[in-house]
A and B are shown apart, each in its own frame.
Chain A
Amino acid sequence: MPRRPNSLIPGIATLLLTFGQPAFAEPYAPRVGQRHADFTLPAISDGRPVSLSDYRGKKLLLVHFASW
């Protein structure tokens, strides 16, 4: 089961675009009121690319987790 860390260290999200893939110059820390940078990663089910922007027009809960 994932465990909640003691604290999430806030940082400044400076998102840069480089050749179509976001490079996060600072640790990931999305800021309320700002657009979330798009990203594309493979799905664990079949490896197909999925982008955050595929969900534009929908209310989305983005969950970063691990099973350890």
Chain B
Amino acid sequence: MPVWHEASKQWVKVGRLAIVGVTHEQHAERCRLFAQWHELDWPILHDPINQIEALAVPILVAIDEHGIVRSTRPRIESFERDFLDRTFSNDAPPIDDAAGVPDVEQLTANAQSADTAEAWRELGDVFVLWGGEQRIDAAIDAYRKSVEHAPQDGNALFRLGVCFRQRYESAHRQPGDFQAAVDHWQRALETDPNQYIWRRRIQQYGPRLSKPYPFYDWIRQAKSDILARGETPVVLPVSLTGAEIARPQRDFSASTDKEKSPDADGKTHRDLKNLIEIDVSIVPRRAQPGQPVRAHIAFHPNAAQDAHWNNESDPLLVWIEPPAGWQVSHRLLRAVQPAEPESTETRRLDFEIRAPDDLAADANDEDAAQLKAYALYYVCEGREGACLYLRQDIQIGLDRLRSVFRECSNFKAGFRKERKKGNTNLR
């Protein structure tokens, strides 16, 4: 697109041409940074749910002053002659296509009375495009009803996944939202494996591809270039995860870490109050024999308890114990922590897991494939409260890749027991 932008600057400047972009991405801010980097000064519209139902991008369409399509594959070298210099007649039949921001009340009433998959999907579209963060739950409800009526509607499944992803990144995050997003995207793709946009949305979070594909490698360069121009880069509220950045090593390589388990005997006190909420997602959800899946672990300081990271000591660690026959890309992960002494940001770590070549497709013995891991971190409870060094155990069922749970499920009873023993591990 930057090539077209450079070539068309003069045409736009003198009023011979207008340009409008439509970006088919989850995050508008990443596109805003991209636009800032390339100095794209024309309007860019956001279609995170692919309402237009494009199969792929990029697509360029030359539209004349009457709204009639004149080319779907314009060429830069002949664009002026074939399009800008030509006079077109208004020779296409009219269509009844007045758009605008839809009436939510009208769509709601229609969905409730018609109760069809299409009506609920349209209502979901309005909520997610125009309702903002506070209507994400309403969008999820509408799309769920749509999917109940039409379980094979890939568009509704994909859009439901978009909503889960949005809610995961909002203050109203629910456990399992990230996994629900990926699962619905995967179900959508199964209805139409040719849908390039759906496929790309999943691949951004899955195992790194064998064929290099730098989804967001440009971001570091963009920020550097923008700063060099004396500008402030657009802030990205959602940080990139490991799978979104290409790395030199594309093929899975098993960990050769020489480090030892930092809490092998398990003596560190558990985070029984859930000061840090852990959310684990697996992409794709089901492991195939010999193939990697990517695990995303997010660590959210518990806002209800005013929990925050204590950055004046060692960083957050995660130690991973794969079951026999399974391989992991890392045994020990370390999170980057900011310079300030305390912070409340979500921290994310990623790693890949490869299933054994002889993994049985119908494996159902969860005990035979439990990936055990644990996190160690310094966390403080409340601004004036105690700071603790705590451990949280994580188990991931790799045969079904469904159950992610913590050992401290009965944490209330356990916490009372620990309190009686005086195990508060104060700093």
Interface residues of A (CB under 8 A from B): 1-5, 7-9, 11, 15, 17-24, 26-45, 49-53, 55-68
* Contact indicator B31/A44 (Cβ below 8 Å): yes
Q: Is the CB of B44 within 8 A of A19?
A: no
Stretch in B49-57, B329-337, B416-424 touching the partner = B49-57
What chain B residues lie within 8 Å of A53 (beta carbons)?
A: 67, 98-99
By a CB distance below 8 angstroms, the chain A residues around B286 are none
Listed A/B pairs (8) with beta-carbon separation below 8 Å: A17-B96, A19-B110, A23-B122, A36-B63, A52-B67, A61-B18, A63-B59, A65-B21
B45 touches A42 (CB 8 A): yes
Bound-state CA distance A29–B93 (Å) is 18
A44 touching B44, Cβ below 8 Å: yes
Q: Are A61 and B74 in contact (CB under 8 A)?
A: yes
Q: Give the B interface residue count (CB, 8 A).
A: 83
The 3 closest A-B pairs by CB, nearest first: A41-B45, A67-B34, A38-B99
- Of chain A, the residue at the smallest CB distance from B84 is A59
Kindly identify, within residues 1 to 37 of chain B, every residue whose CB is under 8 Å from any CB belonging to chain A.
Answer: 1-2, 4, 8, 16-25, 28-35
A67 CB to nearest chain B CB (Å): 4
CB atoms of B63 and A60 under 8 A apart:
yes
In the complex, the chain B residue whose C-beta lies closest to that of A63 is: B21
Q: List chain A residues, Cβ under 8 A from B200.
A: 66, 68
Structural contact, A41 and B92, CB atoms closer than 8 A: no
In whole Å, how far is B203's beta carbon from the nearest beta carbon of chain A?
Answer: 9
Stretch at the interface among B100-108, B142-150, B178-186: B100-108
Whether B55 pairs with A8 at a CB distance below 8 angstroms is yes
Total A-B pairs in contact (CB under 8 Å)?
238
Q: Contact: B20 with A50, CB < 8 Å? A: yes
Q: Is chain A's binding surface mostly helix, strand, loop or mixed? A: loop
A24 to B71, CA, bound (A): 20
Shortest Cβ distance from residue A61 to the other chain B in the assembled complex, whole angstroms: 5
The docked-state distance in angstroms from the alpha carbon of A1 to that of B212 is 13
Also in contact, A64 and B43, with CB within 8 A (given A28-B52, A34-B92, A40-B100)? no
Contact of A52 among B20, B53, B68 (CB under 8 A): B20
**B21, A35: Cβ atoms under 8 Å?**
no
B122 nearest CB across to chain A (Å):
6
Residues of B within 8 A of A63 (CB): 1, 4, 19-22, 58-61
Query: Is A36 within 8 A of B68, CB to CB?
Result: yes
Partner of B95, one of A15, A23, A60: A15
- A68 near B69 (CB under 8 angstroms)? no
Contacts of A58 in B (CB 8 A): 17-18, 65
Additional A-B contacts beyond A35-B93, A41-B47 (19; CB < 8 A): A5-B56, A21-B100, A21-B102, A23-B118, A23-B122, A30-B69, A32-B72, A34-B92, A35-B94, A37-B97, A50-B20, A50-B43, A56-B66, A58-B65, A59-B16, A60-B19, A61-B18, A68-B25, A68-B215
Task: Assess the A27–B218 pair: CB atoms within 8 A.
Answer: no
Query: What residues of chain A lie closer than 8 Å to B65, measured between beta carbons?
Result: 56-59
**In the assembled complex, B194 has its CB within 8 A of some CB on chain A:** yes
Q: Is B400 an interface residue (CB 8 A)?
A: no
B383 within 8 A of A: no
| A68 partner residues in chain B, CB cutoff 8 A | 25, 200, 204, 215-216
Evaluate contact between A49 and B97: CB separation under 8 angstroms: no
Nearest Cβ on chain B to A46's Cβ, whole angstroms: 10
CA distance A34 to B344 in the complex (A): 53
In the bound assembly, the distance between CA atoms of A23 and B354 in angstroms comes to 41
Which of chain A's residues have a CB closer than 8 A to the CB of B44? 43-45
Residues of B within 8 A of A56 (CB): 65-67
Task: Report A-chain residues with C-beta under 8 Å of the C-beta of B97.
Answer: 15, 17, 22, 35, 37-38
Which residues of B, 74-101, contact A by the 8 Å Cβ criterion? 74, 83-84, 91-101
In the bound complex, CA of A64 to CA of B362 (Å): 42
Known contacts: A36-B63, A50-B43. The answer to whether A41 contacts B129 by CB under 8 A is: yes
Decide if B405 is an interface residue (CB 8 Å cutoff). Answer: no
